[in-house]
Amino acid sequence: MVEFDDISSSSLDTSDDDLLTRELSLIVDKGQEPIRIDKFLVNRVERISRTKFQYAAEAGSLMVNGKSVKASYKVQPLDEIFLQIPMPLGYESIKPENIPLNIIYQDEEILLINKPPGLVVHPGVGNFTGTLVNALLYHVAQLAKSKDTVKPGIVHRLDKDTSGVMIVAKDEYSLAFLAKQFFDKTNERKYIALVWGDLLDETGFVESFIGRDKHDRKKMASYSDENYGKYSYTAYKVIKRFGYVTLIECELKTGRTHQIRVHMASIGHPVFNDKRYGGDKICKGTIFSKYKQFVDNCFQVCPRQALHAATLGIIHPKHQEKMCFEAILPEDMMLLIEKWSVYVENRF
């Protein structure tokens, strides 16, 4: 029997997203008699229901010898099984809270919100109340269809201080279906960021391996050696130049923790007011009293990293059609951009 905690955690991270998904791989014993794979897995893996395995199979996340199989597939000796499965956190004891949500879209399967900055996605150490999950349980828990876990299901997450579009699944199948899209990087994710400096080209990309910083475990770092991290690719294009800062759009081709923040910092253009990666100080421009005062005022207007998840494109779990959702910029970033626009007009 495989313990739940023994299942290896796949670091399915997006820029500021941690996909709440786990992966499991195992080889069937030589003497195994043919048996449905969902029954086989229930007997081998603790604390995961047969229903979860069935939904994973429907979503194409259950594979044998490199090919997707149905839950009715009968395992054979020495079969190599690989499984990607969403594993919601233990929300059973979390209390619903009447926290307002900016809902972009919802139907019977999915819910999309524009997450405001400052909102933690799910409870954890130091954050047991006031989270997005607390709000979801208040507003949509009655729509949950699964009996073995509390819904709606968190597919991915944004950092507390990153705003923007997030998707939530309302049933087990939708959770598995969407989790596979994030895992396979088949969805579309675009972010808006204000970064320090005047980028040389109108378009470009950053390509590296992202892993834990060797000196600070709370940070991620960009490496050229694949032994120190996972492959990551961020494409960017300039939206507007302000001289000392630039407004850009970033499109994720992979998804790693803090990907945009790490990549932009690695090329000398940290996200504006990103405390963790050096964007919370004057990086470009002569430091004189009036300019310093202006930048300090900008930090106060947007007291977090100026990063916003603007677009999310997915294939709908039920009707299989592509849908694209946009989240408008929050007030703090709009005011920040306006301040830099006025500064450039007066300065230059």
Catalytic residues, by residue number, are: 159
d(CA 295, CA 27): 58
Helix/strand/coil (H/E/C) assignment for every residue in the chain? CECHHHCCCCCCEECCEECCEEEEEEECCCCCCCCEHHHHHHHHECCCCHHHHHHHHHCCCEEECCEECCCCCECCCCCEEEEEEECCCCCCCCCCCCCCCCEEEECCCEEEEEECCCCCCCCECCECCCCHHHHHHHHHHHHCCCCCCCCCEECCCCCCCCEEEEEEECCHHHHHHHHHHHHHCCCEEEEEEEEECCCCCCEEEEEEEEEECCCCCCCEEEECCHHHCEEEEEEEEEEEECCCEEEEEEEECCCCCCHHHHHHHHCCCCECCCCCCCCCCCCCCCCCHHHHHHHHHHHHHCCCCCEEEEEEEEECCCCCCEEEEECCCCHHHHHHHHHHHHHHHHHC
Q: Which is nearest to 338 in space by CA: 270, 264, 242? A: 242
